[in-house]
Amino acid sequence: MPGDCDYIIVGAGSAGCVLAARLSADPRARVLLLEAGGPGTRREVRVPVAFPALFRTECDWNYETEPQRRLGGRRLYWPRGKMLGGSSSMNAMIYMRGNRHDYDGWRDRGNPGWGYDDVLPYFKRAENNERGADEFHGAGGPLHVADLRSPNPLSRAFVEAAAELGLPLNPDFNGAEQLGFGLHQVTQKHGKRMSAAAAYLAPAWSRRNLRVETLAPVTGVIVERGRAVGVKYVSGGDKSTREARAEREVVLCGGAINSPQLLMLSGIGPADHLRAHRIAVAADLPGVGRNLQDHPAADVQWSCRRPVSLATAETHWSFLQYALFRSGPLSSNVAEAGGFVGIRLTSRGPSFQLHFCPVLIRRHYQTRPERHGFSCCVTLLVTSSRGRVSLRSASPFDPPVINPRYLLDPGDWEVLRAGIRQMRELAATRPFAPFGIEEVTPGASARDAAALDDFLRARLETLYHPAGTCKMGCDPLAVVDAQLRVRGVEGLRVADASVMPVLVRGNTNAPVIMIAEKAADMIRRSGGS
């Protein structure tokens, strides 16, 4: 039976948009892109500071973890984008690649071609950095990378505070060195969000060989005689179940939660777990859903007397400034500045990351701040804790079981405490003095390790970076090989954050785009296995 297309791409998030654009650039290749969510046309997608308004809406998968034993039994909310562009349409737009040693570590774990020198050309190919091209950056690529148009005075004070303490300043976290403090570059163009959908999919939209269907959740991969030949999905138009056949390959780009879930629903995963849900086993891959990693973070907060924070971003003047010049508070990505600090002598690269936000944050930005202030997300970058994604049932419409198993390593607590103390040192410097600041959380009285640990148990959250659940490698738990081909099933690849063997030290959107750029080359070279 002839295929409906050459390639089926499941998920129109960052990776799926890249692959759809790159593969459909060949007019002979027929490409079908299926997205469970909608087109993502809400205004909040385009206006940078408004992204928290997309949380817990139809644009969000609205996931929740299992109770976390080390966090007082709390369930943590995990927002994930459910629209064209995926999480790149609702993230904080920080352009960050991670540390060069992260990628060299991938290579050294049995993944040739994934060292830093191997992946740098793909980062550069994707990038259109407004600072221009150099040894580390590209110009002319689809993804526009910009400096913030209107950094908040509090964000500038954060960088000046680091300088006063003698800490290194870093104008480019993606250049020769990652350590240090500075303002972030963002995936924006002319003050508007530059999602993967805007960067890659929109320019390819009119190609006759590319078909995009939204509101079309995929319910299973069709495997016949050991080969993926298509998918089953629900049509967004009439809600009927359909099949689509692929002549060459099926590529999963659902991310670290949805990709392993779909593999398991399709009979590809740990055999015992599949049989427990009465799913026929097509390939026994015990690593599917294992190796879940994330960056946990805790918000350390100060109030300030001067009314300069983003608490009053939505004024008539701000709207006018944004409408006329695409600048001002509405162009903020919220997490405007940051720093990378290393404290573990055994680890090459930083141990924790600071995300500085010139606004008081509560409940994932869902509670409007009642006063002015700032938050700093103290983020753990390296952990030995590993979690798991597993099936809740055999229904594709039931959310999976997500258990990140946060902070199992006592060393994780040590690093987070060090990050809190570092931010307190920064807040005590002269650049913050004119703002009249006062510590809100953990609170000035929380000084010893026990008090800080109580704060972490009560307030630790995700920084939205799940990865690793379909890891590449050559060990018994590897799900894909270095070509991103699913082991034991022909014609099937995974290309998203789930293939990371170890989570990068930094934000994950740019690395996922790089993975997809590299995957597109692999698929083209193979001719579609």
Per the structure block, which two tokens stand in for 63? 């996931």
Secondary element (H or E) of residue 17: helix 14-23
Helix (H) / strand (E) element for 45: namely helix 43-46
Give percent above pLDDT 70 in the chain.
98
Reply yes or no on whether the pLDDT at 214 is more than 60. yes
Mean pLDDT, to the nearest integer, of 82-98? 98
- Tokens 């953990």 belong to 442
Is residue 56 in some structural domain?
Answer: no
Residue 528 binned pLDDT confidence (cut-offs 50, 70, 90): low
Domain assignment present for residue 40? The answer is no
Question: How far is the C-alpha of 6 from the C-alpha of 19, rounded, in Å?
Answer: 13
CA pair distance 432, 125, nearest whole angstrom = 39
Residue 385 CA to residue 71 CA, distance in Å, equals: 14
In this prediction, residue 2 carries a pLDDT of: 53
Instruction: Give CA–CA dist 121/133, Å, rounded.
Output: 12
Backbone conformation region of residue 390, classed left if phi is above 0, alpha if psi is from -120 to 50, else beta: beta
> For residue 522, what pLDDT is reported?
98
Q: How many angstroms separate the CA atoms of 451 and 425, rounded?
A: 18
Listed in sequence order, the residues at least 6 apart from 401 whose beta carbon sits closer than 8 Å to its beta carbon are 66, 388, 389, 390, 391, 392
What pLDDT score was predicted for residue 240?
83
38 DSSP β-pair partners: 83
Mean pLDDT, range 194-203, rounded to an integer = 98
Considering the domain boundaries, does residue 196 fall inside one? Answer: no
Q: Work out the percent of the chain whose per-residue pLDDT is above 90.
A: 93
- What pLDDT band is residue 1 in, cutting at 50, 70 and 90? very low
Residue 365 domain boundaries? 149-183+296-380+407-459
- Of the listed 184, 295, 355, 465, which one is catalytic? 465
The more confident residue out of 344 and 308 is 308
* Per-residue confidence (pLDDT) for residue 4, from 0 to 100: 85
Q: What is the DSSP letter of 345?
A: T
Q: In this structure, is residue 431 part of a structural domain? A: yes
Measured CA to CA, the distance from residue 482 to residue 107 in angstroms comes to 9
**Does a structural domain hold residue 77?**
no
* Nearest CA-CA partner of 231 in 222, 240, 241: 222
Q: Which two tokens stand for residue 440?
A: 């809100």
Tell me the C-alpha distance between 308 and 502, whole Å: 39
529 has a pLDDT exceeding 60 = no
* Length, in residues, of the chain: 529
Domain count, the chain: 1
Angle at 303 between CA 300 and CA 308, to 5 degrees: 115
Q: Which residues contact 272 (CB under 8 A, 6 or more apart)?
A: none
Q: For residue 491, is it left (φ>0), alpha (ψ between -120 and 50) or beta?
A: left
Q: Is 19 within the bounds of a domain?
A: no
Specify if 315 maps to a domain: yes
Residue with tokens 């600072």: 131
Q: Where are the alpha helices (DSSP H) in 184-339?
A: 196, 202-204, 255-265, 271-276, 316-325
Pair of tokens at residue 268: 């590809």
Q: Is the pLDDT of residue 400 over 50?
A: yes
Q: Is residue 521 part of a domain?
A: no
Asked whether residue 506 carries a pLDDT value surpassing 70, the answer given is yes
Query: pLDDT tens digit string along 16-71?
Result: 999 999 999 999 999 999 999 999 999 999 999 999 999 999 999 999 999 999 99
Position 24 scores a pLDDT of: 98
Q: Is the pLDDT of residue 255 over 80?
A: yes
Angle at 279 between CA 274 and CA 282, to 5 degrees: 85
Report the pLDDT value the prediction gives residue 344, as an integer from 0 to 100. Answer: 61
**AA identity, residue 206:** S
Indicate which CATH number applies to the domain containing 354. Answer: 3.30.410.40
What sign results for the dihedral spanned by CA atoms 186, 197, 26, 35? Answer: positive
The predicted pLDDT at position 346 comes to: 47
How does pLDDT run across 340-386, given as a tens digit for each residue? 999 864 457 899 999 999 999 988 877 788 899 999 999 999 999 99
Mean pLDDT of 218-241: 92
Give pLDDT, residue 103. 98
Give the residue ranges of DSSP H helices in 291-406: 316-325
Flag the least confident range among 21-30, 166-175, 233-242. Answer: 233-242
Judged by DSSP in three states, 282 sits in coil
State the chain's mean pLDDT as an integer. 96
Burial of 451: CB neighbours in 10 Å, binned 0-12, 13-18, 19+: middle
190 has catalytic annotation:
no
Is pLDDT above 70 for 247?
Answer: yes
CB-side exposure of 186: number of CA atoms within 13 Å?
Answer: 27
At 31, is the secondary structure helix, strand, or coil? Answer: strand
Instruction: Give kind and range of the element (H or E) at residue 125.
Output: helix 116-126
